[in-house]
A = this chain, B = another copy of it.
């Protein structure tokens, strides 16, 4: 099955929304994610349904099919490999890669991706800590917990960020939080859920619950 760029983008959005544990994904949610109107989504769902990459029952939201999942994971694989390339080889900052990767992921060339993967030494994670699916669509996912859900005195390593917006990533740069950093929860404020964190055994950091909820931790 060959998809257009627009179809790939929609399918990726549906995959990501499905991944949040929902039974089915709504038209409105897709429209919000894609920054299009619900009417445009309805139209696209019909097309994706005809191509059997989603299961679509009018008025009842969509489910991604196995084939759809495979295709979405291929696009995600390409996106994340390009992000690694941009950061590792072209010295992009991790907050500068998303938009460009959003375009690069649609280049059609299996050879290109295979070679890029080898050239980057078969990376397993992208610059935001997200796992890179292999060429068969398999993702090795590790159990990660949101930082705001950790208890006092628990420790771990920053594994990934949920929000990849430039604003959030630059904030993390500024306070010295990075993928792989060792952290420990020193204190949690009852009132607003904000936290005091020890980073790399030396630096203390205060952050809101909102910030913490966008940091994923590998517990140890």
A104 at the binding interface (Cβ < 8 Å): yes
Q: Would B115 and A108 count as touching, CB distance under 8 A?
A: no
Q: Which of B92, B107, B112 contacts A115 (CB 8 A)?
A: B92
| A119 to B89 CA separation, bound complex (whole angstroms) | 8
A17 at the binding interface (Cβ < 8 Å): no
A175 at the binding interface (Cβ < 8 Å): no
| A56 to B35 CA separation, bound complex (whole angstroms) | 38
Q: Which of B89, B103, B109 contacts A107 (CB 8 A)?
A: B103
A96 at the binding interface (Cβ < 8 Å): yes
Q: Contact size class for A?
A: 10 to 19
A90 at the binding interface (Cβ < 8 Å): yes
| A29 to B112 CA separation, bound complex (whole angstroms) | 32
A208 at the binding interface (Cβ < 8 Å): no
Q: Would B109 and A90 count as touching, CB distance under 8 A?
A: no
Within 8 Å CB of A96, what residues of B?
Answer: 111
Within 8 Å CB of A103, what residues of B?
Answer: 107-109
| A92 to B116 CA separation, bound complex (whole angstroms) | 11
Within 8 Å CB of A109, what residues of B?
Answer: 99-100, 103
Within 8 Å CB of A108, what residues of B?
Answer: 103
Q: How far is the CB of A183 from chain B (nearest CB, A)?
A: 31
Q: How far is the CB of A81 from chain B (nearest CB, A)?
A: 12
Q: How far is the CB of A57 from chain B (nearest CB, A)?
A: 35
Which A87-108 residues have a C-beta within 8 angstroms of B? 89-92, 96, 99-100, 103-104, 107-108
| A104 to B106 CA separation, bound complex (whole angstroms) | 10
Q: Would B100 and A116 count as touching, CB distance under 8 A?
A: no
Q: Which of B90, B100, B119 contacts A90 (CB 8 A)?
A: B119
Q: Per-position contact with B for A102-138: 1 when CB-CB < 8 Å, else 0?
A: 0110011101100110010000000000000000000
